[in-house]
Amino acid sequence: MDLAFDDIALRLGAATGAGMLIGLNRDLASKPIGMRTLGLVSLGSAAVAVAGIQHSNLADNADALSRVVQGVIQGVMAGISFIGAGVILRDAKARSVEGLTTAATVWIAAALGIASGLGAWRTLAICVPLTLLVLYCGPMIEKLTSNPD
């Protein structure tokens, strides 16, 4: 698959914008990972996806292209999990775990980057607002439904 320059720019730009938009929530909440990190995670994921589907030797071989896309998705999502794991902190004495939402946000930023890189625009258009809904409304819903111990 040979993508035009403007198509590549759109895919990479959309990925970067989606990651930065999600990262804004993390910055506003003073979390360790914010707009720059999530924008770069999403951009990097999209760049790998775009590069994978553009390999000239795969243009006439749908099976090979499918294997490359699967490998890209698996590799990025497994690798990005290590960055997410770096923000998870466990306090055994307090019996608490912190950073899970930030770790999940890193993971979703990578997924959005892959979706953008592959040109899955409907997936991106649905997932970005849903992610923002969870990040912005989730804490309010948790407060309303939590046990007042």
DSSP 20-73: HHHHHHHHHTT-SS-HHHHHHHHHHHHHHHHHHHT-GGGTT-HHHHHHHHHHHH
Average pLDDT over all residues of the chain: 89
Sorted by sequence, the CB contacts under 8 Å of residue 66 that are 6+ apart come out as none
Banded model confidence at residue 147, pLDDT cuts 50, 70, 90:
confident
Q: pLDDT: is 55 or 29 the higher one? A: 29
3-state secondary structure of 16: helix
pLDDT digits (tens, 9 = 90+) for 103-143: 999 999 999 999 999 999 999 999 999 999 999 999 899 88
